[in-house]
Amino acid sequence: EVQLVESGGGLVQPGGSLRLSCAASGLTFDSHAMTWVRQAPGKGLEWVSSISGVGTRTYYAGSVKGRFTISRDNSKDTLYVQMHSLRVEDTAVYYCAKYHSNVAERGWFDPRGQGTLVIVSS
């Protein structure tokens, strides 16, 4: 069974940094592109970033471009997102999800984890 376990969330001040991780199991990790999706309190889902299976192609939402960096370590079956210059509006539960293929565009992705909460507040 595929499992995705997010971690690294917490309370951070505006302008601060945080790195989230997503540990994957039950799948051939490098065969799947991965993505981060977030949900602000009481709000809808928002795509954040995606990365191809081998990590060579990355995509970002306009709201995080230049501040967030997605990466992966296929030797550790782990996905990351490094977040800098955090803003109050980045407060959300962050979910990781696997794509159906190793290409990080189109198709579909499937969130499997419970998410990790990031709170940006002074």
Partner 1 sequence: QSVLTQPPSASGTPGQRVAISCSGSRSNIGSNTVNWYQQLPGTAPRLLIFLNNQRTSGVPDRFSGSRSGTSASLAISGLQSEDEADYYCATWDDSLSGWVFGGGTKLTVL
Report the interface residues with partner 1, using CB under 8 A: 35, 37, 39, 44-47, 50, 59-62, 95, 100, 105-111, 113-115
Closer residue to partner 1 in complex, CB, 44/122: 44
- Residue 120, phi then psi, degrees to nearest 5: -105, 110
The distance of closest approach from Cβ of residue 108 to partner 1 in the complex, given in angstroms and rounded to an integer, is 4
The distance of closest approach from Cβ of residue 122 to partner 1 in the complex, given in angstroms and rounded to an integer, is 26
Closer residue to partner 1 in complex, CB, 104/120: 104
